[in-house]
């Protein structure tokens, strides 16, 4: 029996009501992985793409089980699945790490966002809330044993925020007319043009919106 990935893809298209091949979905997840790795803050979640890939993997694994072990393509398919799983887990782990590091600020910002443009997936949001709660409980337990003078913790001092001005390497996917860069050294602003497929180094805050809408890829 022959595995037909195109069948799987057609199913996906019907569900998502958009023309997107499994290959495109994979490319999207790979791009999201790199962006997430290099951006200082947590980026809007790509759960739709990740879920879609996971379904593909599941379907593929089901089909592979039916194939004979001597078929030369079985190994290739298995290898590819492992590669995709690696990207997905690395992507999700990077996000969890950011949630753990910046838990309080991530939750505060998430609360100000509308239902449509949440940055965390429902599962991540639940994780963040539980993590914050557990951290609070932990601090409370410890502080109870401290001398009275020191047994209060200023909530504001607990907040760790990502440095949005940190420098990132990036590549433009499209021509961008104007990017404003704040020059802290001279206390003024610079405006530059980013040409298509040019590569740059600059503070993340200048290009954050372009990273989120996909016109800029972090490298």
Cα–Cα dist 183/199, whole Å: 19
* Site membership for other proteins, residue 147 (CB under 8 A): no
* Site membership for other proteins, residue 16 (CB under 8 A): no
Residue selected from 58, 61, 76, 137 as contacting other proteins according to rule CB under 8 A: 76
Cα–Cα dist 31/41, whole Å: 16
SS3 188: strand
For the CB of residue 123, give the shortest distance to other proteins in the complex, in Å.
Answer: 24
Cβ closest to other proteins, residue 103 vs residue 194: 194
* Site membership for other proteins, residue 164 (CB under 8 A): no
80's CB contacts (< 8 A; 6+ apart) are: none
Per-residue DSSP letter, 150: G
Residue selected from 11, 62, 167, 209 as contacting other proteins according to rule CB under 8 A: 167
Residue selected from 58, 165, 174, 175 as contacting other proteins according to rule CB under 8 A: 165
Tell me the window of 42-50, 73-81, 118-126, 127-135 that interacts with other proteins (CB under 8 A): 73-81
* Site membership for other proteins, residue 120 (CB under 8 A): no
For β-strands 176-183 and 167-172, DSSP reports them as unpaired
What does R_g of the chain's alpha carbons equal in angstroms? 22
Cα–Cα dist 128/133, whole Å: 9
Cβ closest to other proteins, residue 140 vs residue 196: 196
163's CB contacts (< 8 A; 6+ apart) are: 40
- Interface residues with other proteins (CB under 8 A) are 2-6, 22-23, 26, 37-38, 53, 56, 60, 72-73, 75-77, 79-80, 83-84, 86, 90, 163, 165-169, 181-187, 190, 192, 198-203, 219
């Amino acid at each position: 029996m022959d595995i037909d990935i195109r069948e799987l893809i057609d199913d996906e298209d019907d569900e998502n009501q958009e023309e997107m091949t499994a290959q495109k979905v994979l490319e999207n997840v790979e791009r999201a992985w790199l962006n997430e790795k290099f951006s200082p803050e947590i980026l809007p979640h790509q759960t739709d793409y990740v879920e879609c890939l996971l379904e593909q993997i599941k379907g593929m694994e089901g089909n592979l089980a039916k194939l004979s072990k001597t078929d030369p393509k079985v190994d290739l398919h298995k290898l590819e699945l492992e590669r995709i799983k690696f990207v997905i887990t690395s992507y999700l782990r990077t996000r969890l790490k950011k949630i753990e590091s910046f838990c309080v600020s991530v939750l505060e910002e998430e609360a100000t966002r509308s239902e449509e443009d949440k940055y965390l997936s429902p599962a991540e949001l639940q994780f963040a809330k539980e993590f914050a709660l557990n951290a609070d409980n932990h601090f409370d337990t410890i502080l109870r044993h401290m001398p009275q003078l020191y047994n209060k913790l200023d909530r504001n001092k607990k907040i760790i925020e990502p440095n949005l001005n940190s420098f990132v390497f990036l590549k433009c996917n499209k021509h961008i007319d104007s990017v404003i860069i704040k020059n802290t050294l001279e206390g003024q602003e610079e405006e530059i043009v980013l040409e298509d497929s040019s590569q740059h180094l600059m503070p993340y805050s200048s290009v954050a919106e372009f990273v989120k809408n996909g016109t800029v890829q972090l490298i």
